[in-house]
Structure 1
Amino acid sequence: MTNTPKTICIVEDKDDLREALSMMIRLTDGYQMTGAFKNAEDAIHHIPDIHPAAVLMDINLPDASGIQCVVTLKSKFPDILFLMCTAYEDNDKIFSSLKAGASGYILKTDGPAKIVEALDELFAGGSPMSSSIARKVVASFSGLPAGNHLVQRLSDREEAVLHCLAKGLMNKEVADSLQISQGTVKKHIQHIYEKLHVNTRVEAVNLYLGRTK
């Protein structure tokens, strides 16, 4: 018995890129393309009927921004996952996206393999981010108070995994760095979330940096 494909919609105003992303999803096992839209208005109108599992969302759209689109849809459909896929790296857009309800933020320049890896991580319960984006998020927490006792509950291996996450590494990169499997990395991350009482890697890194400052 095969698993049901995870349904994906794309919101991207550039025709060539929208088609390239759509083709990437169609060619990836385990995923199904269910809609592609060139602006927020079309997305807000059609996505409720499609109700995809996740949406790849651009930010710079011709009418309302991708961030506004996420705000509108996430408030009505909190179960839909949103992954920002954009060219913007400035802090305001990053944090506005996360505040709006996006679960991850990656750059278009990362390429198809990274985007698919980010989707895999998204559905595994993670918050995928490009390395440069993760570093900006990490830097924003640099003023946190030290001494979080929850982090002390982690095993040495779990803390090593969390240290890699704090450097902005994605699951495959963590696995390569620590010479363990991606499945083992996912298990460690799950245990980290449970021990720290958090739901995302941003929150986990937040606590970690609070301890190590």
Structure 2
Amino acid sequence: MIKIAIYEDNHALREALEILITGVPGFELVGAYPNCINIEADLRRAEPDVILMDIDLPERSGIEGAYIVKQQAPTVEVLMLTVFDDNDKVFQAVCAGASGYLLKKTPPAKILEAIEDIYNGGAPMTPVIARKVLQLFPRAPAVNTETDKLTPREQEVLSSLAKGNSYKMVADELGISIETVRTHIKRIYEKLHVHSVAEAIAKAFLK
């Protein structure tokens, strides 16, 4: 059971997300809030596994909320749902510790897929935001000793994830099972000494 909390100040959207999540087997909605002013107490009470966080929240931004989450409960995954796709907002979300980034116009089925993906260690992003994240950093040199540690197949898996693909999309693209994707990612983590897909992408492809 994946426990999910929502932070969204738009009442209609928050309610739509509540309905979406409560209708899915294996998902449990443990909280839905219009702001993250009391997020410390919310975390202790609700103990979510995944948080859907709007960036543009009143009084305390979702970026600040994400930072507090990662400081207080590092194992909780934060998935940013936002209307923003500009570099500054995305960069701030990355620095705050968010693991995934989706635009609010993302179809409901993709949001549900992203929740499961991020819970399983993925870093779901829309292709637009994935490109922006990569643009925030200087490109790595042609020869990257970190990438050299990976097998050709592991490099293919990581490259596919860097495009913003989910585990399922990676599996379909490479013609392998999702379990095989997870096995490759586990080995990538071990070889690069990282704990998330975002870290692996940064270490393998970016300076």
Using the size of structure 2 for normalisation, the TM-score is 0.90
Greater Cα offset, 149-158 or 27-36: 149-158
**Corresponding residue SS for 1:28:** coil
State the alpha-carbon separation in 2 of the partners of residues 28 and 208 from structure 1: 35
- 1:97 deviates by 1.2
Note the aligned Cα RMSD (angstroms).
2.0
State the alpha-carbon separation in 1 of the partners of residues 62 and 54 from structure 2: 6
Task: Select 1:180's aligned residue among 169, 176, 183.
Answer: 176
- 1:44 deviates by 4.5
- 1:144 deviates by 2.9
Query: What are the Cα deviations for residues 87-126 of structure 1, in whole angstroms up to 9, with x where unaligned?
Result: 1101111121121122211112112111111111111112
Give the corresponding residue for 1:8.
4
The question of 1:110 aligning with 2:106 is answered yes
Conserved 8 A contact 1:146-1:210? no
Q: Which runs of 5+ in 2 are unaligned?
A: none
Task: Select 1:70's aligned residue among 66, 69, 86.
Answer: 66
Conserved 8 A contact 2:121-2:197? no
Query: What are the Cα deviations for residues 108-151 of structure 1, in whole angstroms up to 9, with x where unaligned?
Result: 21121111111111111122222111111122234334432232
Greater Cα offset, 79-88 or 39-48: 39-48
Task: Select 2:200's aligned residue among 196, 204, 211.
Answer: 204
Identity of matched residues, % = 43
Aligned in 2, Cα 1:81/1:202: closer, same or farther, shift over 3 Å?
closer
1:30-179 → structure 2 map (5 Å cutoff): 30-179=26-175
Aligned in 2, Cα 1:112/1:204: closer, same or farther, shift over 3 Å?
same
**Corresponding residue SS for 1:186:** helix
Task: Select 1:22's aligned residue among 18, 23, 32.
Answer: 18
- 1:210 deviates by 4.5
**What is the aligned residue count?**
207
State the alpha-carbon separation in 2 of the partners of residues 209 and 54 from structure 1: 27
Using the size of structure 1 for normalisation, the TM-score is 0.87
